């Protein structure tokens, strides 16, 4: 998550709402397509919904990869046909409709809150015909700002008016105890205050869950610590089908799947994040399981194949028939 962006955004709030691309697009012939994508996992209907992106200038030389020289990062970007001067960090939220429950996995960056090019979730949800008021559960992977800020509006009004909010117990324990602030880099310390603020309006409806427990029928929490102390992924099973919802186990796949040993500046514990990445993606590759991931390119669903020392993301075929 981009804490510095969040702070900058807070200072520049009035500008952001006006700059939202979705607003502009509504009145333009040359708009981008509504950005959601549907597929089935067993009898469950999964919808990935795009929240936009935050650009990062000169990513190889701005400290994003902690343990690699810029030339190596630039080569990886070149190999992936990504431009060197700017890397977009995309955000995609996964919704699962089990037929009885509508579950959101994380919440996006919030309209007009984190950056002028993100916060499009509400617009794309409307396009997808999903009413946030009908979401029965919001299940959180971890507490970085780009995952929880969308819980509430700028005025801190709940976006998911009728939802229960489920959080990993380990994540809750860490970020609700400010004595931990010395254990995180300075630029992530704002997370403590943001956690307080975002969960406050849901107070009575916040429920902690343990790893390996079910957060909903067929949806199991799987430990994935490293990126943050309580970072969690979710295994959704319906009929003989399954889906892993991977949160930030890897950020952009061209960098962190290809090179699972790379540490992101946002990984609180780089070595542990890396080990978790190898373990979980190794399992998913072996099982040929489908996945969604928060920072993978939209529609952010597909498969993982082993590739040299790392992995390759293989987007699933886009189908006009759900």
Partner 1 sequence: MTLPLARRLALAGVPALLAAPPLLRGLVPTAQAQTAPAPTTQAPGFYRFKVGNFTVTTVHDGFFERPLENFVRNAPLADVQKILADSFLPTDRMRIPFTITFVETPTALVVFDAGNGVTPAGATQGRMIANMAAAGIDPAKVTHVIHSHFHGDHINGLLNGQGGAAFPNAEIIVPAAEWAWWSDTGNETRSPEGQRGNFANTARRFGPYQGKVRQLAEGAEAVPGIRGIAAFGHTPGHTVYRVSDGSAQLIFLADLTNRPELFAVRPDYHAVFDFDPVAAEASRRRVLDIAAADRARVTGYHFPFPAQGFIVKEGNGYRFVPGDWSSAV
- Is residue 45 at the binding interface for partner 1, with CB under 8 A as the rule? yes
Other Cβ atoms less than 10 A from the Cβ of 312: the count is 16
- When binding is defined by CB under 8 A, the residue of 129, 182, 203, 240 that contacts partner 1 is 129
Q: b/e per residue, 254-266, with b = 16+ CB within 10 A?
A: bbbbbbbebbbeb
- Is residue 224 at the binding interface for partner 1, with CB under 8 A as the rule? no
Stretch that binds partner 1, among 6-14, 95-103, 138-146, 192-200 (CB under 8 A): 95-103
Mask 99-128, x = binds partner 1 (CB under 8 A)? x--x--------------x--x-----xxx
DSSP 8-class letter at 173: H
- Is residue 240 at the binding interface for partner 1, with CB under 8 A as the rule? no
- When binding is defined by CB under 8 A, the residue of 3, 53, 141, 311 that contacts partner 1 is 53
Give the whole-angstrom CA distance, residue 185 versus residue 118. 24
- When binding is defined by CB under 8 A, the residue of 50, 192, 244, 263 that contacts partner 1 is 50
- Is residue 281 at the binding interface for partner 1, with CB under 8 A as the rule? no
3-state secondary structure of 5: helix
- When binding is defined by CB under 8 A, the residue of 26, 63, 286, 309 that contacts partner 1 is 26
As measured in angstroms, the least distance from the Cβ of 119 to partner 1 is: 10
3-state secondary structure of 210: coil
Do 190 and 146 form a contact (C-beta atoms < 8 A)?
no
Kindly list the distances between the CA atom of residue 91 and the CA atoms of 14, 98, 164, 201, in Å, as whole numbers in the listed order: 22, 23, 22, 23
DSSP 8-class letter at 307: E
Looking at the Cβ atoms of 162 and 208, the one nearer to partner 1 is 162
Give the whole-angstrom CA distance, residue 245 versus residue 76. 25
Interface residue list for partner 1 (CB under 8 A): 21-22, 26, 29-38, 45, 47, 50, 52-53, 79-82, 88, 90, 97, 99, 102, 117, 120, 126-130, 288, 297-299, 302-303, 305, 314-322
């Amino acid at each position: 998550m981009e804490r510095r962006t969040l702070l900058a955004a807070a200072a520049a709030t009035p500008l952001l709402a006006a700059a939202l691309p979705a607003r502009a697009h509504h009145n333009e012939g040359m708009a981008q397509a509504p950005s959601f994508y549907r597929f089935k996992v067993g009898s469950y209907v999964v919808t990935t919904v795009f929240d936009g992106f935050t650009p990062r200038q000169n990513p190889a030389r701005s400290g994003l990869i902690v343990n690699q020289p810029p030339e190596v990062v630039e080569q990886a970007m070149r190999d992936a046909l990504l431009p060197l001067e700017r890397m977009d960090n995309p955000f995609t939220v996964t919704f699962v409709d089990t037929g009885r429950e509508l579950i959101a996995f994380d919440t996006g960056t919030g309209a007009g809150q984190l950056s002028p090019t993100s916060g499009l979730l509400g617009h794309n949800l409307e396009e997808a015909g999903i009413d946030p008021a009908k979401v029965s559960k919001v299940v959180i992977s971890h507490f970085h700002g780009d995952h929880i800020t969308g819980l509430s509006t700028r005025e801190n009004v709940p976006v998911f008016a009728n939802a229960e909010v489920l959080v990993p117990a380990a994540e809750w324990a860490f970020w609700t105890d400010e004595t931990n602030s010395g254990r995180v880099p300075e630029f992530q310390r704002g997370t403590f205050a943001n956690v307080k603020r975002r969960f406050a309006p849901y107070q009575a409806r916040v429920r902690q869950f343990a790893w390996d427990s079910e957060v909903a029928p067929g949806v199991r929490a799987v430990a994935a610590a490293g990126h943050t102390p309580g970072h969690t992924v979710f295994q959704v099973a319906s009929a003989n089908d399954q889906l892993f919802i991977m949160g930030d186990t890897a950020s952009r796949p061209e960098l962190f799947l290809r090179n699972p040993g790379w540490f992101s500046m946002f990984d609180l514990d780089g070595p542990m994040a890396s080990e978790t990445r190898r373990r979980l993606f190794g399992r998913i590759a072996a099982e040929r399981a489908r996945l969604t991931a928060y920072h993978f390119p939209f529609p952010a669903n597909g498969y993982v194949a082993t590739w040299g020392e790392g992995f390759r993301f293989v987007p699933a075929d886009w189908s006009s028939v759900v």
